[in-house]
Amino acid sequence: MSEENKTEQQNPDQSVGEKYMRTVKSFVLRAGRMTEGQQKAMETVWPHMGLELSQGMLDLTEVFGREAPVVLEIGFGMGDSLIEMAKHQPEKNYIGIEVHRPGVGRLLSNAEKEGLSNIRVFCDDAIEVLAQCIPDGSLSTVQLFFPDPWHKKKHNKRRIVQLAFAETIRKKLKVGGQFHMATDWENYAEHMMEVMSAAPGYRNVAGDQAYSPQPEWRPVTKFQKRGERLGHGVWDLMFERTAD
């Protein structure tokens, strides 16, 4: 889910990983008209479910008004699967990040209809949210389902799953927390496996070089259905943060 590629002024003191994360955009901002309902939700529901970069580093207990495991999903699309998870796992708190405003509006509208109080939403670049708002060691799970595969070889560098990104996620997870990825592009699944197997501080939950079965609590998304219609397989990868 995405935004136009941008070039930013670089600080020569930045590390290579920081430069990479700041300059390479992994998503393209899709144009899309908001429906009347989505726009209304942005106006009426956002004030109590929306989160802003300007809030800075969050106290997640304060944000949700309770202590509970926090699941962060990057790029939730139109939000239907995130709504399902929050609805069926009320014991967890969910933070969704999406740059596509119609998707954010739809999720807010549906969350209100379902009476859900365990969802909060950012409409921002996930890299900025992670850097500015999510405390280290605070998340029980990070979910990345069906990100843009950038399947042309010359575009592979835009894939969000890279070593620098894996390290960013590791810092935000609690020890024992999981980074759960899913894709319907075999080449991207292989890329994810290569990156995550090389990333320090992780353990493959399914075993070395093994993919995980789709857990029953992960809903089938529209991207998965589309991929299956096209004859694609689906690969889940689950990596657990180990002790430092």
- Residues known to be catalytic: 148
- The 8-class DSSP code of residue 219 comes to P
Q: What is the greatest pairwise CA distance in the chain?
A: 49
At 54, phi and psi to the nearest 5?
-65, -15
- Residue 17's SS3 state is helix
Give the helix ranges, DSSP H, for the chain.
16-23, 36-44, 46-49, 60-64, 80-88, 101-114, 126-132, 163-172, 186-198, 222-229
For residues 34 and 102, the answer to whether their CB atoms sit within 8 Å is yes
In single-letter form, the type of residue at position 65 comes to G
| Rounded Cα distance, 150 and 164, in Å | 18
What's the rounded Cα separation, in Å, for the pair 94 and 64? 9
**In terms of C-beta distances under 8 Å and separation of at least 24 residues, what long-range contacts does 220-226 make, across chains too?**
220/81, 221/77, 221/80, 221/81, 221/145, 221/146, 222/77, 222/78, 222/80, 223/77, 223/145, 223/146, 223/184, 224/146, 224/182, 224/184, 226/184
